[in-house]
Amino acid sequence: MTGLVSRRNLLVGGGSLLLAGCDRVSSSPTVRETLSWGERASRSAQRWLIGDRQALASEFTRADLSPVFRVNGSTHVTAADYMRHAANGFADWTLAVDGLVAQPLSLSLGALRAAPSRTQITRHDCVEGWSAIAEWTGVPLGLLLRRAGLSTRARYIVFHCADSLAGKPYYESIDLVDAFHPQTILAYAMNRAPLPIGHGAPLRLRVERQLGYKHAKYVMRIEAVESLSGLHGGKGGFWEDAHDYQWYAGI
Amino acid sequence: MTMPDPVPPPALIYRTRLPVRLWHWTNALTVFVMLMSGLMIFNAHPRLYWGAYGANFDHAWLEIGSRGTTGYVTLLGVEIPTTGVLGYAMGTAEAFPPLITIPSHYDLATARLWHFAFAWVLVIGWVFFCIYMIFSNHLWNTLLLSHEEMRGTSLWRDIKAHARLRLPRGEAARHYNPLQKIAYLLVLFGFLPLMVLTGLAMSPAMDAAWPWLLVLFDGRQSARSLHFLGAGAFAAFIMVHLVMVVLAGPINELRSMITGWYRLPPERRVPEDRA
């Protein structure tokens, strides 16, 4: 004889109530603020453990390359301007370097390819958990910033991208330690071929030692700023604004 | 006519000191948050690999997935149907079902917030407990096995006693038994450091600073696999722990872990150890 409420229903119902309670706890601003203490502690601890943050990410050999490097995030760009550039092989596309610099730059893909370059075989780590290894070739970001004459007021470098997610423009930002790190490059080639559109053609950021969402694709403009608060959601990046992903992206 | 032997009232002894109880209950909460938020993080990419790299097109030794409303687990190439439990359950196509993840819906950023906050509780608690263990003699007197206990015959006797679910009674119940000591030592000095180090090995920033992490675990994806296996092993530890609590007398055990006071279970009337 079963009652009106079966044990199973009671379990499932009770479980759902419990879950709803847990989720309400998760979305409470006070709880999130308290939990984010852990994030701040992780960031400080990492900065302390890592010291001057000059260590190089492990570099691999061509034998270690992922057979297939999956595409994720934005896989293409629908902005008319970008599509026009893509159609003619980015021949008259230029990268803008501006903001707090003495000499704003406008650099063609040809100029970037002619500049001193760095090639590195590194591991890309997505926040979701997967990793893929590829060879990247590009211009060290520090080189461009020095050439543009970075102001002493500048504290962050912002990457404005051509792609949008959920109707919002993608952007990312890093601090100057990461910007001048030798492995931080603006890559125009992947595995010795021009950067494919799925991976951010014509130019993407490689900021090794950070999670995948920091590696902005389709970089159109680089801006040196004093503060991130005036930009978009104010947290320094698309995922940081949209979903509270960590700006320092160290773990 | 002989009267039955008078049974002396079982002695109430102060067995579990406050720091041990604090450590226990803090972790009872922490470990559940870590496991449940960890399962949500796993759901973001429910595939495990061995080596430096691993993504959707690479060979996964473990995958939890779904096709339509059918859930499956593929373990070392063998597919096991798991609809209703893993892959697809409670009307949700997630690897681990909403009932056991924090948050209950897909939310990687929030799961990470919980996971990393409670990781600190775990690590800080562990550091304090290590200091306590060393200075209070808890480590030497309570946890480390005596020479007598470390002997093969004595361990074998304890294994047989556990297999027959004959738990220590009387004076013997005053202390942890050898298998119990080994289990706690493995958690404290094997499992916890393994979880922290495999966790750090998944951080690209830490990998750059401490490249030995990648050597130690044979790459980031191997570290992720080990982190998952470690979590599974700990879930198994909790199950065994709870079963042992029930077998040893849940009220008495709970009182001991809440108040510190433990009633020694009376000796068995019949000598039983003839094994």
Rounded to an integer, the average pLDDT of B73-85 is: 94
Nearest-Cα residue of chain B relative to residue A11: B99
- pLDDT tens-digit profile of A42-63? 888 888 888 888 899 999 999 9
- pLDDT, greater one: A50 or B268: A50
Residue (of B186, B223, B226) closest to B206 by Cα position: B223
Cα→Cα distances A78→A12, A50, A164, A169, A246, Å: 45, 40, 9, 12, 27
pLDDT band at A225 (very low <50, low <70, confident <90, very high): very high
Residue A2 has pLDDT above 50, yes or no: no
Task: Say whether both A191 and A168 belong to one domain.
Answer: yes
Rounded to an integer, the average pLDDT of B198-202 is: 96
**Domain membership flag for residue A1:** no
Ranges A8-12, A44-48, B48-52, B153-157, most confident: B48-52
Task: Say whether both A114 and A228 belong to one domain.
Answer: yes
Report the range of poorest mean pLDDT among A55-64, B151-160, B220-229.
B151-160
Burial of A211 from C-beta contacts in 10 A (0-12 / 13-18 / 19+): buried
Q: What is the pTM assigned to this prediction?
A: 0.90
pLDDT band at B3 (very low <50, low <70, confident <90, very high): low
Long-range contacts: B4-13, Cβ < 8 Å, 24+?
A: B5/B269, B7/B266, B8/B266, B10/B263, B10/B264, B10/B265, B10/B266, B11/B263, B11/B264, B12/B261, B12/B262, B12/B263, B12/B264, B13/B174, B13/B261, B13/B262, B13/B263, B13/B264
Q: B64, B96, B104: best mutation site toward chain A, by most A Cβ within 10 Å?
A: B104
Residues of B in contact with A244 (CB under 8 A): 109-110, 113
| CATH number, position A67 | 3.90.420.10
CA–CA gap between residue B123 and residue B128 (Å, rounded): 9
Write the residue in B44, B110, B220 that is nearest to A128 by C-beta: B44
B151 touches chain A (CB under 8 A): no
Write the residue in A26, A60, A123 that is nearest to B110 by C-beta: A26
- pLDDT, greater one: B161 or B74: B74
Share of chain B above pLDDT 70, in %: 93
CA–CA gap between residue B244 and residue B241 (Å, rounded): 5
Task: Say whether both A43 and A57 belong to one domain.
Answer: no
Residues 6+ apart with CB under 8 A from A47: A53
**Domain membership flag for residue A204:** yes
Burial of B257 from C-beta contacts in 10 A (0-12 / 13-18 / 19+): middle
Residue B204 has pLDDT above 90, yes or no: yes
The ranges assigned to domains in chain B are 12-44+104-263, 47-95
Q: Are residues B53 and A133 in contact, defined by beta-carbon separation less than 8 angstroms?
A: yes
Task: Say whether both A121 and A190 belong to one domain.
Answer: yes
User: Within 10 Å of residue A93's Cβ, how many Cβ atoms?
Assistant: 20
Write the residue in B99, B114, B116 that is nearest to A15 by C-beta: B99
B119 touches chain A (CB under 8 A): yes
**Domain membership flag for residue A249:** no
pLDDT at B174: 79
CA–CA gap between residue A208 and residue A214 (Å, rounded): 9
Report the range of poorest mean pLDDT among A47-51, A65-69, A173-177, B169-173.
B169-173
pLDDT band at A161 (very low <50, low <70, confident <90, very high): very high
B132 touches chain A (CB under 8 A): no
Rounded to an integer, the average pLDDT of B237-256 is: 90
Rounded to an integer, the average pLDDT of A143-158 is: 97
Report the range of poorest mean pLDDT among A153-157, B27-31, B38-42, B173-177.
B173-177
Task: Say whether both A59 and A137 belong to one domain.
Answer: yes
Task: Say whether both A169 and A82 belong to one domain.
Answer: yes
Amino acid at B155: L
Burial of A166 from C-beta contacts in 10 A (0-12 / 13-18 / 19+): exposed
pLDDT at A7: 52
Rounded to an integer, the average pLDDT of B68-86 is: 94
Task: Say whether both A43 and A62 belong to one domain.
Answer: no
Share of chain A above pLDDT 70, in %: 92
Task: Say whether both A102 and A33 belong to one domain.
Answer: no
Write the residue in B54, B57, B105 that is nearest to A131 by C-beta: B54
Write the residue in B54, B120, B214 that is nearest to A130 by C-beta: B54
Rounded to an integer, the average pLDDT of B236-262 is: 91
Q: Are strands B261-263 and B78-81 parallel, antiparallel or unpaired?
A: unpaired
> What does the block give as tokens for A237?
């990046």
* Largest Cα–Cα separation, chain B: 82
Rounded to an integer, the average pLDDT of B139-144 is: 83
Residues of B in contact with A212 (CB under 8 A): none
Q: Is B53 in Cβ contact with A22 (below 8 Å)?
A: no
Residue (of A108, A114, A112, A116) closest to A90 by Cα position: A108
pLDDT band at B41 (very low <50, low <70, confident <90, very high): very high
Residues 6+ apart with CB under 8 A from B135: none
CA–CA gap between residue A110 and residue A105 (Å, rounded): 14
Q: Which domain holds residue A182?
A: 53-243
**Domain membership flag for residue A2:** no
Q: How many distinct structural domains can be found in chain A?
A: 2
Task: Say whether both A116 and A216 belong to one domain.
Answer: yes
B125 touches chain A (CB under 8 A): no
Residues of B in contact with A22 (CB under 8 A): 102-104
Task: Say whether both A26 and A79 belong to one domain.
Answer: no
Residue B268 has pLDDT above 80, yes or no: no
Cα→Cα distances B224→B52, B159, B199, B227, Å: 10, 32, 7, 5
Ranges A236-240, B157-161, B248-252, most confident: A236-240
pLDDT band at B7 (very low <50, low <70, confident <90, very high): low
pLDDT at A238: 95
Q: Which residues, listed in sequence order, are joined to residue B47 by a DSSP beta bridge?
A: B63
Question: Residue B245: in which H helix or E strand, if any?
Answer: helix B220-248
B123 touches chain A (CB under 8 A): no
Q: Are residues B225 and B49 in contact, defined by beta-carbon separation less than 8 angstroms?
A: yes
**Domain membership flag for residue A129:** yes
pLDDT at A240: 93
Task: Say whether both A43 and A58 belong to one domain.
Answer: no
B91 touches chain A (CB under 8 A): no
Cβ-based contacts under 8 A for chains A and B: 144
Domain spanning B12-44+104-263: which CATH class is it, in words? mainly alpha
B99 touches chain A (CB under 8 A): yes
Look at the alpha carbons of A60, A62, A66, A72 in this order and tell me if their dihedral is positive or negative: positive
CA–CA gap between residue A1 and residue A11 (Å, rounded): 18
Here the ipTM equals 0.89
Task: Say whether both A195 and A90 belong to one domain.
Answer: yes
Ranges A139-148, B96-105, B182-191, B232-241, most confident: A139-148
Rounded to an integer, the average pLDDT of B214-223 is: 97
